[in-house]
Amino acid sequence: MQPLLVWLPSAFGILLAGVAAMVLQWFTPRPRAMTARERTFCSIHTTRKRSPSGSRLVKSTSFTETREERQPFESSLADPATLSLSVIVPAYNEAKRIQQMLQEALDYLESPPQRRRHSRGYEVIVVDDGSTDSTCAVVLEYAAKRQDSGGKTIRVVQLDRNRGKGGAVTHGMKFARGKRLLFVDADGASQFEDLDLLDKEMDRIEKEGYGLVLGSRAHMVKTPAVVQRSALRNILMRCFHAYLHIMGISTVKDTQCGFKLLTRPTASIVFTNMHVEGWIFDIELILIATFIDAPTSEVAIRWKEVDGSKMQLARDSIAMALDLLVIRANYSLGRWPLPTREQPQLDSLEPKPKAA
């Protein structure tokens, strides 16, 4: 009887560990592979043509033709930068809000001071995350209107199925050409002009090519923009911050702000090691930056509440808490290897598409 009593706790422990491993395996995210269409993008293309007059006495007239053109991405994050800045905009059913955000972005980036700062040029990659509305058409229509003032820098990639905000950002980053890479929400809640603050802070902290600057709304916690939000939203926000502290993530005051700037070496490691595709992906991004000792800083930015949020508070808050637990468990148990600066990155990236 005594040997049985000694054996039972061990057996129960083994059974419990096995069940825990199965549960962790079940909830561990497994990002799907890209489809062929997801390796291409749409943009506007302008050509000048001559219209024959039909008469020797009347000169032919010239006109400009603008059309949408789909083509494969010509480079990946593994390649050297060819532009100064890439702006990644994840967009899911944002037909009503994205044009205002793009207008603010292009107006700022086309200003003389920013053209001097980003002397090698810039691009805006809008990742249409499986939208069921006219997001893609709205973006391309706006790009055509702005063809002489930034519109030609806009590229739209359409995902066949919704991946989540993290999956959309990761997808766009993998084909970005910029020396610095910014991702920004499509709703226009962040003041795009505050990119100047992030750029200056990156100039200050960047070391050996590595750096991460986070836009932060932490300073606004007692302002009307936050106080006047629903009581449920504010309660869940406080619970989430408390949960982050419990999980050992307490150095960053605002992890979820959709306005973050990375250097290319930092992004190349972060986005080749990203596992999570939902709302909580910001946490894994910050963790990976910590693993590789990338200098990290927060900068207070201007922000406003915008109607039409895609987040379902109760459901998504529970999902985020569970995802955070899964992230911590997988890294702590060694199921996901800790990223390093020395690891080969090229093999982890999606292969470059062949030129058409």
pTM: 0.84
Whole-number average pLDDT of the chain = 84
Distance CA 171, CA 132 (A): 19
Mean pLDDT computed over 114-127: 94
Neighbours of 70 (CB within 10 A): 13
Mean pLDDT computed over 43-55: 67
Give me 255's structure tokens: 């992890």
| Per-residue pLDDT at 352 exceeds 50 | no
DSSP 303: B
Buried b (16+ CB within 10 A) or exposed e, 12-39: eeeeeeeeeeeeeeeebbeeeebeeebb
In this prediction, residue 349 carries a pLDDT of 43
More confident residue, 44 or 260: 260
Least confident of 9-18, 208-217, 291-300, 327-336: 9-18
Residue with tokens 């619970």: 239
Please identify, in words, the CATH class of the domain defined by 67-227+252-309.
alpha beta
In this prediction, residue 110 carries a pLDDT of 96
Distance CA 146, CA 109 (A): 13
pLDDT digits (tens, 9 = 90+) for 292-345: 999 999 999 998 878 766 666 667 777 888 888 888 889 988 999 999 988 655
pLDDT digits (tens, 9 = 90+) for 260-277: 999 999 999 999 999 999
User: Distances in Å between the alpha carbon of 175 and those of 36, 63, 78?
Assistant: 14, 33, 9
Distance CA 85, CA 118 (A): 7
| Per-residue pLDDT at 183 exceeds 70 | yes
